[in-house]
A and B are shown apart, each in its own frame.
Chain A
């Protein structure tokens, strides 16, 4: 069953006196219940904007986001629609995602109140994210980044979400904590039957936890597929470049392949395929027409 469906979503950032920036330029994506989808791409590709729009933070310029068959309404000044509290998010910066003035137990209790859960205690949730129960009475400044992120996960889970979104939840953590926290998110989401949309620029971690992977470039999703298949046989040249750039800790001293050029300005994306100026396999058609198809948006892989 499709839990989340994003269809041809366009999100624009408007600053007075500047050209409109299309952070998300027609992206489609779906997440099923119990499924873990990894959304990867370089910084500035629009993946965080996509995630925030899914939560209702920000208003799409066009396209639709629907959750459990109902459209997601943007979060305004009104209280969030109770049917939407089933979408919860864990943010990137562990130092900004907890209120520094409140005990962590109270903050987790907010989540429990959302789910009208009276049988679970904040300590139970701390237990589930692998922290000692007695931490509930402490304040956020007493914790490390990794611990804070676990607390943020506990708070999100307390609301019993059916879709959990992680917006780069591990990129600010120590290397050793990254894989642990990512796995924890996956396990807890899957255990509770929720879907997980995990956003990261770190492919090696996404590979570890995602069932399906979506690669985003300059506001568009350029390739989707089962994680193991994409990993074993990346088809879009951009996916290949991304995977090729990860240095392997094999002790061989092999320098990773370099992808020439910078990400173009999203305010004036190149004509045709957005990746063509950096693509090693660029063809004439790439410069003229945008590949508007999936699962691999590349003229080399046009569906028959």
Chain B
């Protein structure tokens, strides 16, 4: 993906970006997303304290030595937020990747093979769609037992149908295209046709959805932790940290900083997803503007 190009180093580089990536929101999204990924990688170097060490005064407001303050156990919130990136971001990315893989594959099979395959997969997807997302995820997480791994599984259960639907629709549109039929006439098996001709031509839109979904998945995952169905203490998970901050509402910093972390990641990936969509979709505002008289 071209996402990597969004880090603007020089004016020259900026000008070489495709137009969709040159807008402020795209650049902001790219910068913030990359910053968070770097933080996740370098948290041990960046964090001033051990995220689990209860060595500072309890509930100290932000100040020198602990810029984001400390929580009720005397842990440094800045360090916990930085370490939290190592928990939430890789898990969210893994989660979305798995959703794309499972949902995409099921949707592609449904669209390509049709008939009972389609019926089975899509009715299953409808079943999931019929429930409010967070409630279903809560039910699944509660049934499996509270742990971060189970929370991921629960979000996976509610997230794949969106990919299945989108992929199915795209595959239906492309299945009858001449080049796919030509391949079948040359004796491609259905599987080879799907792999070689169909799937590579539906990845673009699915990637857009995935990027947009990173924010949602993170929210859902932190939401489950917030509700006590995910990460267990003392793990520095953002959702769990917000939950513990709610208990000490007077010390605003305890809940605010992990909350801001969630907000920035969600926004950044939403901006990236929007940009990706505009860059891939020919019917963008830019294209319309160009065609206007």
Contacts and interface: CB of A to CB of B under 8 A. Distances in A.
- Whether chain A touches chain B in the assembled complex (some CB pair under 8 Å): yes
A155 interface: yes
A111 B186 CA distance: 6
B67 interface: no
A111 B95 CA distance: 39
Interface residues of B, number: 19
Contacts of A113: 186
B190 interface: yes
Contact of B187 (A99, A100, A114): A114
B179 interface: yes
A145 to B, nearest CB: 13
B185 A87 contact: yes
B201 A110 contact: no
A169 to B, nearest CB: 11
A57 B186 contact: no
A215 interface: no
Contacts of B190: 77-79
A89 B113 contact: no
Nearest to A88: B185
B8 to A, nearest CB: 28
Interface of A is mostly: loop
Nearest to B112: A77
Interface residues of A, number: 31
A97 interface: yes
A97 B187 contact: no
Given A85-B186, A85-B187, A110-B188, A99 B179 contact: yes
A152 B187 contact: no
Contacts of A79: 187-190
A13 B189 CA distance: 26
Nearest to A110: B186
A82 B196 CA distance: 20
B171 to A, nearest CB: 14
Given A96-B177, A97-B178, A159 B196 contact: no
Interface of B: 113, 177-190, 196-197, 200-201
Interface of A: 55, 57, 75, 77-80, 82, 85, 87-89, 91-93, 96-102, 107, 110-111, 113-114, 152, 155-156, 159
